[in-house]
Amino acid sequence: MTMQAFLRTIPDRGSGFERLEIRLLRHRDYSSVREIYKAVSNEYLQYQKQRTGEVYDPVRLDLDMSQLDFYVATHCSFAAIENEKLLGVLLAQALRWVSDWDRVLWLEYIAVHSAHRRKGIGLALISAAKDFARRHHIKSLFTTLNIDNEESKSLLLKAKFDVKDWRIASYSS
């Protein structure tokens, strides 16, 4: 399949976007992905400190080039773009945990720039991942979320994921 097979333009439904495109992640997206990753990681660390006074779930503050190369090579990681600006990203890979099990699509990271949240970008990214899974005969999507991340929980529930004990979320077609 070509890159164009995954390109989708999301019509403006009151979100304020002129033309939101969901497409496969590309090498040229690296600096923007790293910016969003750093910002979201810092938000999460600050949240932990405010909540408990300490960091109880340390996260890396950056992605290196080899990690980004890996996600581009999976051909199932997506970027949300408006006017050539990256607003959100979904990093994923198809896995087969046991040789005779069906493959699953593991959503490793979903993030939207803080100024553009609650506008449907996260749902559009997840929808692209679901479409990818259908086209590749992958029946289940999985992800993990932090136990206290209400925004992630809300997004996954809207996307029809079954959120189990606030840590694991799954979707089956």
- The CA–CA distances, whole Å, from 164 to 66, 143, 160 equal 32, 11, 12
Model pTM score? 0.85
Tokens of 45: 């660390």
* Residue 29 contacts residue 63 (beta carbons within 8 Å): no
Evaluate if residue 83 carries a pLDDT over 50: yes
Q: Which helix (H) or strand (E) holds 94?
A: strand 85-95
- Which residues, in sequence order, are bridge partners of residue 153? none
Max avg pLDDT among 39-53, 62-76, 141-155: 62-76
Q: What is the CATH number of domain 3-172?
A: 3.40.630.30
Structural domain boundaries of the chain?
3-172
CA distance 166 to 147: 5
Task: Dump pLDDT digits (tens) for 119-143.
Answer: 999 999 999 999 999 999 998 999 9
Across the chain, which distance is largest between two alpha carbons, in Å?
49
pLDDT of 164 reads 81
Average pLDDT (153-169) is: 86
Evaluate if residue 1 carries a pLDDT over 90: no
